[in-house]
């Protein structure tokens, strides 16, 4: 499995726990150093085949169809702006036919939902430009600090289709938990109450009406051309 934007290894650890062998990549050598550190400290280094410094827009050092699956989680596609289609296309290229690509992007309306107080402090004209384009950039708002493109779910679905993926699942990254920090912090993680919350959250995030309401949007797509596709 190829992981794009692995950072210090938060999601690599999850992949290791479910038995994956991972090529961990990041555009930052500093992040890869942190990845090495935490992989050893937390015990998932044995699941990491190797580490590479890679740009999601240019995976030319990797052979086509060389991975069973590609994970681009945490929002790397939101940071490449107009090159998002090119980047997702690279993820699809290195994934075997019939394999899956899991990606997440930052959500326009979910971001507004989570940070509404701050959003309303942005000058009206600047805020309208941001919402119209999805781009947090100085040309839309000169005081911007965090630069990224925020997606709507329909836009993300179209991007996946254009890259050659058949969308098999979409989810918000969170929904019920937004603005519920105080409530959730009082729950014990192994309690029946917390497990019931997780069940509710998981179901809610999958509902079409909730896809745009979390801070990120998650998509799983299947690359066409596998045996099941040909049989159908």
* Structural domains present in the chain: 55-115+145-223 (3.40.50.150)
Q: Is the pTM of this model over 0.85?
A: yes
Q: What is the pLDDT of residues 73-100, one digit of tens each?
A: 999 999 999 999 999 999 999 999 999 9
pLDDT for the residue 224? 87
- Which helix (H) or strand (E) segment holds residue 185: the answer is helix 181-185
pLDDT for the residue 229? 52
| pLDDT at position 180 over 70 | yes
| pLDDT at position 227 over 60 | no
Between the alpha carbon of residue 98 and those of residues 24, 88, 165, 194, 229, the distances in Å are: 22, 16, 10, 36, 7
Cβ partners under 8 Å of residue 220, min gap 6: 100, 101, 102, 167, 168, 169, 170
CB burial of residue 187 (10 Å; 0-12, 13-18, 19+): middle
Q: What is the pLDDT of residues 53-74, one digit of tens each?
A: 999 999 999 999 999 999 999 9
Q: What is the pLDDT of residues 195-217, one digit of tens each?
A: 999 999 999 999 999 999 999 99
d(C-alpha 144, C-alpha 119), whole Å: 11
| pLDDT at position 225 over 90 | no
Cβ partners under 8 Å of residue 180, min gap 6: none
161 contacts 167 by C-beta, under 8 angstroms: yes
d(C-alpha 214, C-alpha 11), whole Å: 19
| pLDDT at position 226 over 60 | no
**Start-to-end Cα distance in the chain:** 26
147 contacts 137 by C-beta, under 8 angstroms: yes
């Amino acid at each position: 499995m190829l992981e794009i934007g692995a950072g210090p290894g938060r999601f690599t650890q999850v992949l290791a726990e479910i038995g994956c062998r991972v090529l961990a990549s990041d555009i930052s050598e500093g992040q890869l150093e942190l990845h090495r550190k935490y992989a050893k400290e937390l015990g998932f280094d044995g699941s990491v085949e190797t580490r590479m410094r890679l740009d999601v827009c240019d995976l030319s050092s990797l052979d086509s169809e060389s991975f069973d699956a590609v994970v681009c989680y945490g929002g790397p596609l939101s940071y490449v702006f107009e090159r998002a289609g090119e980047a997702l296309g690279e993820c699809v290229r290195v994934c075997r036919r019939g394999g899956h690509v899991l990606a997440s992007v930052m959500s326009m309306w979910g971001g507004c939902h989570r940070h509404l107080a701050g959003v309303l402090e942005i000058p009206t004209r600047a805020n309208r430009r941001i919402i119209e384009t999805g781009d947090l950039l100085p040309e839309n708002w000169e005081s911007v600090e965090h630069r990224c493109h925020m997606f709507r779910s329909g836009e993300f679905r179209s991007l996946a289709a254009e890259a050659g993926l058949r969308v098999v699942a979409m989810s918000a990254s969170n929904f019920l938990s937004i603005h519920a920090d105080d409530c959730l912090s009082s729950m014990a993680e192994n309690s029946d109450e917390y497990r019931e919350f997780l069940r509710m959250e998981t179901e809610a995030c999958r509902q079409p009406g909730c896809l745009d309401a979390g801070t990120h949007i998650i998509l799983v797509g299947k690359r066409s051309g596998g045996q099941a596709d040909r049989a159908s």
